[in-house]
Amino acid sequence: MTIRPATLALVAFFALSMAVFSVFAPRFASPSNIEDLMGGFSFIAILAMGEAFPILTRGIDLSVGAIVALVGMVIFDMSLIFHVPGYVIVPTALAVGALAGAVNGMLIVFVRLQPFIATLATLATYRGIVYAISGRQLVEGLTTTPIRDKWITGIETYFDLGRMLGIGRMVHLPAVPLSFLLMLGVFVILQGVLLFSKFGRSVLTLGGNAEAARLAGLNTGAITVICYAISGVCAGLAGLMLVAKLTTSTEGLGFGMELSAIAAAVIGGVSLSGGVGSMFGPALGAFLLGAILLGLTLLQVSQYTQQIVTGCILLAAVGYDRLLLLRRLRRRLANTG
């Protein structure tokens, strides 16, 4: 595997922003802030890694925020209305996410909808289902009942590494949230799949040139459906982590989250024109966005300015992606001509 200059640029930019904020933003370098960064943005990183798969096939998944809400409400209903034990809820939640993602994929493959249109439609549909099945409205009193199932709330656990290593008294290390470790797990699995499996190579081939992939005998339909299912599972896991953190779910959960996920993926160097990208980029992209939000908030910069900054970074990332694409095309032209 070669390390692309885009990845290096991202790492450098991440390091630079961390350094700048550590110096200038009060308490940015404090253990509790690092905990906030790890605990508060791991689910965005997971969403972004999932989102990378549809983008790698030259598609897009706009429905991830709605899937987060759908999974959240399924967990809410199962736990608070039907009192299903958590060890059943967790796999069910992931299965619901996978199913919702697979439906996206099937709409694209079998109904031949544009990914943008298909997932825009399911965004509205899934969000509608959330309102329809919302236990908050079906059963009185649940709006003020927290979910207490240990299997679910246990996901929001912090490990005090300093104390475990016996150096807690010398240095104050940030506690590591379980959600961060889960994020690392997802990273290892998905990066492994992308790099070392036949499926991973097929995804990159399909994204690079769909016609060539089809002629080479790849089952492009199945690959596409699986890619959207992966995005769905990741959204399901993110939903699970959010519910664990909030001890409840709301109809509006995950609203607009697809934009954060897509932004993190694109900033992470996943090319919108398909076929190029890794899992490292989106994950780091999510934490970069998180660090910028936290840092600017600590510097007491207005949130509207923060949105402008985020937008500019996204523009720069997309512009860079475009530049690389043009350069690739030019090189190809030069080679053939």
Binding site for other proteins (CB under 8 A): 26-27, 29-33, 36, 39-40, 131, 134, 136-137, 143-146, 156, 171-172, 242, 245-248, 250-257, 293-294, 297-298, 300, 303
**Beta carbon nearer to other proteins, 214 or 245:** 245
Q: Which sign, positive or negative, has the C-alpha torsion 80, 83, 87, 90?
A: negative
Nearest-approach distance from CB 261 to other proteins, in angstroms: 13
Nearest-approach distance from CB 285 to other proteins, in angstroms: 17
Nearest-approach distance from CB 153 to other proteins, in angstroms: 9
**Beta carbon nearer to other proteins, 172 or 201:** 172
Structure tokens at 194: 């992308």
**Beta carbon nearer to other proteins, 102 or 238:** 238
Please, where are the H alpha helices in the chain? 5-24, 31-56, 64-80, 86-110, 115-133, 135-138, 150-153, 161-164, 178-196, 198-208, 210-215, 220-246, 257-267, 280-298, 303-336
Closest CA to 7 of 290, 281, 317: 281
**Beta carbon nearer to other proteins, 114 or 303:** 303
82 to each of 86, 91, 142, 189, 275, how far by Cα in Å? 11, 16, 12, 33, 44
Nearest-approach distance from CB 233 to other proteins, in angstroms: 20
Name the phi and psi angles at 177, rounded to 5. Answer: -75, 145
Nearest-approach distance from CB 298 to other proteins, in angstroms: 6
**Beta carbon nearer to other proteins, 140 or 211:** 140
